């Protein structure tokens, strides 16, 4: 069966790492099998096909691959028990599941396909699979549909001469008719349709800062106008973080971020002073800093900030997490569609955190396991203090989880 035009574009690209993002039923797995066979023409190679689970690999790839190999009479030995095929030229093609990380500890692979890779844990690639390509100079092909701004997005946007990315809609794959796609459009909410059929990276259900939008809120750079800077701060030891902003009328512009690992408040103070020597600095810390002592000297975090000459503004009571979240979301976009919070593109961690922190599934409890909470906490203390929500409005419940 001939490949479609977009499949051929991916096929003919000779970059070492290729990332193919598409809508569902574009023909990714079809192409992947084609690629396994193509690399299989070279003798004495080791080739893997990896999907999120062993079962999935078996279901979506095994029969198609086998048929193809058998049809061309290339097989020397087919092993159903471990889903491997030894070709007559001694090249081995094997199917794996990323659910069993132990089984991925291979050596010297020449080619790997990672299918549905948005559902594969990043560590499986970075820590386990990527190293197996090093000695051999092996190649990899990533296939998948978008899944929010996760690891797949990182690889898709990777800017590196060894990498090439491709993105196609379901329609461009020519396997699904326009009518069927129109039907799906009726059945799905807009975001799901965009993600699943148009292969658009969209914020997914459960996202906390759902008003954040790269096109609106990220600015290239910011020229500071004022000597007064406002810094939101969160006191973890790992990491201790701060967001640096300037207030321009009603707008708040975040233009620097500080993240220090295994640190303490004294170190953070040093860092701020070294970056901003001549400024009037107002810090908006976690109100718990009134009591908490992160550093050894016996002073509270709040006292350390004051002793450093900073003006410190913290509520006497801890603001509700929900109030902080609502305050940030309102600054991102209020009910009239106005945005008044902006982030320069250099603040990569702030952006990532806004884009990615989610609620724990089915709850209104922000997830803290992914590490995106620190910058958002720091930002929340700052925004909530400077722009508190008017209490006569009852903020609406976030309802984005499914
Ligand atoms: N070039 C092609 N020629 C014929 N059939 C194709 C081609 N590409 C894909 N298909 C078929 O289209 C369907 C969807 O392809 P698949 O690879 O499973 O899509 P995806 O992995 O992107 O969801 C499958 O039945 C597959 O066999
Ligand atoms: Mg597939």
Give the model's confidence band at 384: pLDDT under 50 very low, under 70 low, under 90 confident, else very high.
very high
User: Strands (DSSP E) along 277-390, which ranges?
Assistant: 280-285, 311-312, 341-344
| pLDDT tier for residue 396 given thresholds of 50, 70 and 90 | very low
Q: Does 214-386 match 5-196 at the fold level?
A: no
pLDDT tens profile 181-204:
988 877 666 666 888 899 998 766
Quick one: pLDDT at residue 392? 46
Higher-pLDDT residue of 60 and 323 is 60
Domain 5-196 has CATH 3.40.190.10: no
- Ligand 1 atom closest to Cα of 3? 1
Report how far ligand 1's centroid is from the alpha carbon of 8 (Å): 13
* 3-state secondary structure string across 214-263: HHHHEECCCCCCCCEEEEEEECCCCCEEEEEEEEECCEEEEEEEEEECCC
Ligand 1 within 6 A of 202 CB?
Answer: no
Q: pLDDT by residue (tens digit) across 88-133?
A: 999 999 999 999 988 998 789 999 999 999 999 999 999 999 999 9
How high does pLDDT run on average in the chain?
91
Give 236's pLDDT tier (boundaries 50, 70, 90). Answer: confident
- Tell me, what's the pLDDT at 237? 78
CATH of domain 214-386: 3.30.420.280
116 CA distance to ligand 2 middle (Å): 7
The structural domains of the chain, with segments of one domain joined by +, span: 5-196, 214-386
3-state secondary structure of 325: helix
Residue-wise pLDDT for 16-75, tens only, equals: 999 999 999 999 999 999 999 999 999 999 999 999 999 999 999 999 999 999 998 999
Closest CA to 120 of 91, 148, 90, 152: 152
At 337 the pLDDT is 78
């Amino acid at each position: 069966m001939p490949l479609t035009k977009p499949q051929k574009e991916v096929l003919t690209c000779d970059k070492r790492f290729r990332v193919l993002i598409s809508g569902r039923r574009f023909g990714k797995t079809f192409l992947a099998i084609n690629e396994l066979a193509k690399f299989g023409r070279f003798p004495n190679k080791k080739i893997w096909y990896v999907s999120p689970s062993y079962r999935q690999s078996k279901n979506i790839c095994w029969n198609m691959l086998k048929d193809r190999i058998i049809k061309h009479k290339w097989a020397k030995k087919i092993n159903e028990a471990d889903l491997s095929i030894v070709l007559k030229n001694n090249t081995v093609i094997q199917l794996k599941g990323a659910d069993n990380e132990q089984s991925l500890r291979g050596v010297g692979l020449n080619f790997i396909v990672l299918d549905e890779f948005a559902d594969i844990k990043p560590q499986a690639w970075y820590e386990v699979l990527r190293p197996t390509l090093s000695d051999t100079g092996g190649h990899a092909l990533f296939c998948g549909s978008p899944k929010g701004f996760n690891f797949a997005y990182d690889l898709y946007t990777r800017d590196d001469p060894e990498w090439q990315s491709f993105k196609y809609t379901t329609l461009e794959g020519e396997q699904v008719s326009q009518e069927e796609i129109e039907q799906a459009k009726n059945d799905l909410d807009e975001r799901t349709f965009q993600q699943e059929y148009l292969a658009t990276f969209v914020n997914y259900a459960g996202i906390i800062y759902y008003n954040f939008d790269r096109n609106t809120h990220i600015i290239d750079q910011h020229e500071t106008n004022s000597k007064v800077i406002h810094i939101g701060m969160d006191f973890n030891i790992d990491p201790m973080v701060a967001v640096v902003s300037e207030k321009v009328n009603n707008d708040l512009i975040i233009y620097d971020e500080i993240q220090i690992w295994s640190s303490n408040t004294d170190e953070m103070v040093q860092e701020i002073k070294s970056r901003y020597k001549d400024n009037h600095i107002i810090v908006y810390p976690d109100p718990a800093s009134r009591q908490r002592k992160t550093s050894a000297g016996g002073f509270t975090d709040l006292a350390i900030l004051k002793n450093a000459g900073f003006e410190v503004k913290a509520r006497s009571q801890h603001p509700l997490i929900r109030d902080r979240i609502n305050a940030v979301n309102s600054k991102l976009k209020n009910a009239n569609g106005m945005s008044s919070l902006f982030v320069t593109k250099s603040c990569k961690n702030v952006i990532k955190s806004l884009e990615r922190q989610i609620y724990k599934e089915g709850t209104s409890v922000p997830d803290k396991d992914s590490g995106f909470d620190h910058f958002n906490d720091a930002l929340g203390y700052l925004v909530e203090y400077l722009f508190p929500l008017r209490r006569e409005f009852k903020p609406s419940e976030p309802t984005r989880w499914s």
